[in-house]
Chains A and B, each alone.
Chain A
Amino acid sequence: MGFDSCVKPSWCPGCGNFGILSAVKNALKSLNLKTEDVVAVSGIGCSGKTPHFIKNYGFEGLHGRVLPAASGVKLANHGLTVLGFAGDGDAYGIGMGHFIHSCRRNIDLTYVVHDNEVYALTTGQYSPSSPKGTITKSSPFGSLEVPVNPVALALTAGCSFVARCFALDVKHLEGVLVEAIKHKGFALVDVLQPCVVWRKGSIKFFKDRIYDLQKEGHDSSDFDSALKKSFETAESGKIPVGVFYKKEHPCFCDEIPVLKKGSLVNQKSNSISNLLKEFY
């Protein structure tokens, strides 16, 4: 019961998405949220199916457009808990523009990125987070671009909650998700997600490199320290996981005067009689 949906996940056995799904449902349950007050917005890709596997209102929209849709939902009813689920292609490729602007907006929603460094559902092309030189169907001689650094990008774009997790460390992910959902503002949770079909060996690759920021005594209120940590990427041999940075600022909806009266969806429509006066 709780947040379990009647639809069985269609992911490959062993997929990192199972860990993410589990952590999300547990987090929602522990926060005592009602299923009808949770909206899961997704894009296209394996991660896009996530809303179907949770008992909630879901919006499985267009590739790259998770954040605009999720923002629209939140603005219409800011009493809802809104989660966005996007793959690394969705979030850091086609959706990169919306990602940067959402960080700037500090709109109160949680953005879970299923970062498996590949375009899995379309059969294995390289993605914005694939390491340089990755060989795939669309890059038979090795990809030429350096991978994105979403943590650094988020920090410099003004993101008020920046975290990275590992999909197989479900308990840790659950904890970070609870914090992210509770955080009033835009929260990025970049989840390193092993893809058992297209990125074989990625489980060991991540396990060998990740270390817990909080266990190392990282101060998540220290922006400079967070930024420095964000440059520790796979190439450096160490990948930090946990909360890089967290700061409470006024969130988007709190600064819109109309929403001070309550959720937009509950507000009655106004008559135009007063508005017509200037045209007489």
Chain B
Amino acid sequence: MVAGKLFSKFCQRTGFNVFSSVEYPSLIRGGVNSFEINFNNSACCTSDFIDVMIALNEACFNACKHRLKNDGFVIFDKNIFDLKQTNAFGVPLSSLATDLNDVKNVVALGACFALFGFDLAVLNSVLDEVFGGKGKDVVDNNVKAAVAGFDFFKENFGVCLNVELPLKKGESLFLSGNEAVSLGAISAGLKFFSAYPMTPASGILHYLAAKENDAGIVVRHVEDEISALNMALGASFAGVKSMVATSGGGFCLMVEALGLSAIAEVPIVIVEVMRQGPSTGVPTQTGQGDLAFVLNASHGQFPRVVICPGDIEECFYETINAFNLAYKFQIPVIILTDKILAESFSTVKPFKNKSEIFSPFVSCAEENFKRYKFTENGISPMSKPGIKNGEFIASSYEHDEFGHSVEDPESIKKMTDKRFAKLNDLKKEIPEPVLHGNKSADVTIVSWGSSKGAVLEALKTLQQKGITANFLQILYAEPFSCDFVKNVLSKAKNVVLVEGSKTGFMADLIKMHTGFEIKNKILKYDGLPFFPADVVDGVLKVLGLK
């Protein structure tokens, strides 16, 4: 993990685009752990095949060897196991590391640098930065380890790939989806975050907790997810922008309070980071199986927003949008990501920091303040404790304009209509889906969320095979851009859905909203992310070319 991160930082500093993903089991010690780095001038997803593998033990090699390209390069620890195949290079990682406090991963990294033909000096500066906080000795150890690996490889194997470095070196950020969501939230004015640890969302809790003082936010790890969302709603009611983050199982516990947010019109942002489900499922593997759930969760009917970021950059900007929509329309907004987005890292263009933070509360109130005043657009003035004359009751019961309970038919209908009236303006404020590629194409791929990277890569491969494909990316699952989608699909020649789930729910959603039925589906539900080859092969099959 550390070596992977180090190598990724090196690539970023050198000017490459990087996409790094992590595989690990639901264990604390042992198991197969891998860190995969895809770097080139346009990396945006996991690669189909691995060009170079560093195998620190035999179990890991065996688990990952099917991903290795034919005649792919392997640097393995020859102190532990042997490998006799083309381009396999045994380096005594363990013995070279013994005197250096067990940093065999950095020894391997050094060897790797010799193979690629990279300059160790840049790696050494990354080492200094990453380990500097632990003291000069630790940094020196790691530098020695890298040099040891580098020298051994260079002296024993006359192989060098001479990988070309990028010509242009623009500035970039290298971070994970969870970090991007966290930063987006702070940028949007987040002040309160409560959570219960749950893979793969815990990264948000960890990052925000560490930044409590720097960012001026209150972060609480509470006793359960029910407490987390109810507490965030209390904080939001009291005037502070709040968020919670969890995975599917935790969101299940939050479902009742989701309805409370809706009826009491207490704004909230909820991040749901999908894992492979159902139930405990596979905590450390990815999936896209929760779309139907988040769209329909909680009894009764009410407006909500569901956003599905497709890459790490969207994780940042869409979280800002989520807050602005939640607090303007006084509704719950759900950001739906998954393990792959959350825990992978990629280079992104530096974020543009917005200066204006939207303030949704009234600054003063007159007597007989109507918190739930009937208005044409459904949005009522929102006061908060401390504002004189602004007193009201935020209630989970159906209520009148002051928040007091009502049970008569006319009031029930009127207040329900008021909440739904918000949808009119809401629909106008959300961005439209994006059609990547040419308007006219042989194949139109429809998808959402983390498959974006693999699909975009597949478009290039298909182009090389003489097939034009475009990609309709659904960013907002709710409200749904019916007209835009209907328009694109009605003109499409062949439509294929790509989704990481068993049933491809996005097709059902599209049919419900537009009447258009997508018959071809490329579905993957084995816990792994889409590789570009999955999409390419799937499209070729649909076209009868495979």
Contact = CB atoms under 8 A, between A and B. Distances in A.
Contact of A36 (B231, B386, B395, B405): B386
B215 A275 contact: yes
B51 interface: no
A256 B183 CA distance: 21
Contacts of B223: 97-98, 101
B367 to A, nearest CB: 11
Contacts of B175: 279
Contact of A97 (B213, B217, B224, B351): B224
B232 interface: yes
Contacts of B260: 61-62
Which of A39, A67, A269 gathers the greatest number of chain B CB atoms within 10 Å? A269
A51 interface: yes
A35 B237 CA distance: 16
Interface string B362-405: 00000000000000000000001111111111111100000111
A258 B230 contact: no
Report the contact-size class of chain A (Cβ under 8 Å from the partner). Answer: 35 or more
B401 to A, nearest CB: 13
Contact of B391 (A56, A74, A280): A56
A280 B173 contact: yes
Contacts of A275: 183, 186, 211, 214-215
Contacts of A256: 218
B204 interface: no
Contact of B351 (A49, A62, A276): A276
A273 B387 CA distance: 32
Given A37-B385, A279-B179, A75 B392 contact: no
Residue of A37, A39, A70 with most chain B CB atoms under a 10 A cut-off: A39
A58 B231 contact: no
A72 interface: yes
B238 A258 contact: no
A52 B402 CA distance: 10
B357 A72 contact: no
A73 interface: yes
Given A57-B392, A272-B186, A275-B186, A267 B211 contact: no
Contact of A269 (B174, B220, B357, B386): B357
B227 interface: yes
Contacts of B216: 258, 261, 267-270
A68 B222 contact: yes
Contacts of B395: 58-60
Contacts of B257: 62, 65
B350 A276 contact: yes
Nearest to A64: B226
A272 B393 contact: no
A68 B353 contact: no
Contacts of A268: 216
Nearest to B217: A258
B199 interface: no
Interface in B511-544: none
A280 to B, nearest CB: 6
Interface stretch (B157-165, B188-196, B440-448, B502-510): B188-196
Contacts of A67: 227
Nearest to B213: A257
B217 A73 contact: no
A72 B397 CA distance: 20
A77 B173 contact: no
B391 A69 contact: no
A39 B387 CA distance: 12
B187 interface: yes
A269 B191 contact: yes
A268 B351 CA distance: 21
A98 B242 CA distance: 20
A274 interface: yes
B393 A69 contact: no
A272 B395 CA distance: 35
Nearest to A7: B404
B475 interface: no
A76 B183 contact: no
A218 B271 CA distance: 51
Contact of A258 (B187, B213, B227, B404): B213
A15 interface: no
Contact of B386 (A51, A55, A80, A274): A80
A34 interface: yes
A200 B386 CA distance: 42
Scoring B172, B215, B353 by chain A CB atoms within 10 A of each residue's CB, the highest score goes to B215
B436 to A, nearest CB: 26
Contacts of B405: 49, 52
Contacts of B233: 61, 69, 72
Contact of A68 (B231, B351, B397): B231
A57 B385 contact: yes
A173 interface: no
Which residue of A37, A65, A68 has the most chain B CB atoms within 10 A of its CB atom? A68
A264 B384 CA distance: 13
B404 A69 contact: no
B321 to A, nearest CB: 16
Interface in A1-42: 7, 34-39, 41
Most buried by A among B171, B175, B179, B216: B216
Nearest to B395: A60
B212 A39 contact: no
A62 B231 contact: no
Contact of B385 (A73, A75, A279): A73
B194 A72 contact: yes
A269 B239 CA distance: 13
Contact of A272 (B183, B213, B230): B183
A54 to B, nearest CB: 9
A71 interface: yes
Nearest to B384: A265
A36 B217 contact: no
Nearest to B359: A269
14 contacts: A57-B393, A61-B260, A68-B230, A72-B230, A72-B237, A76-B191, A264-B192, A264-B240, A265-B238, A269-B186, A269-B191, A270-B186, A271-B353, A275-B186
Leading 6 A-B pairs by shortest Cβ distance: A72-B234, A76-B238, A68-B230, A58-B393, A69-B234, A72-B231
Interface of B: 171-175, 179, 183, 186-187, 189-192, 194, 211-218, 220, 222-224, 226-228, 230-240, 242, 256-257, 260, 264, 350-351, 353, 357, 384-397, 403-405
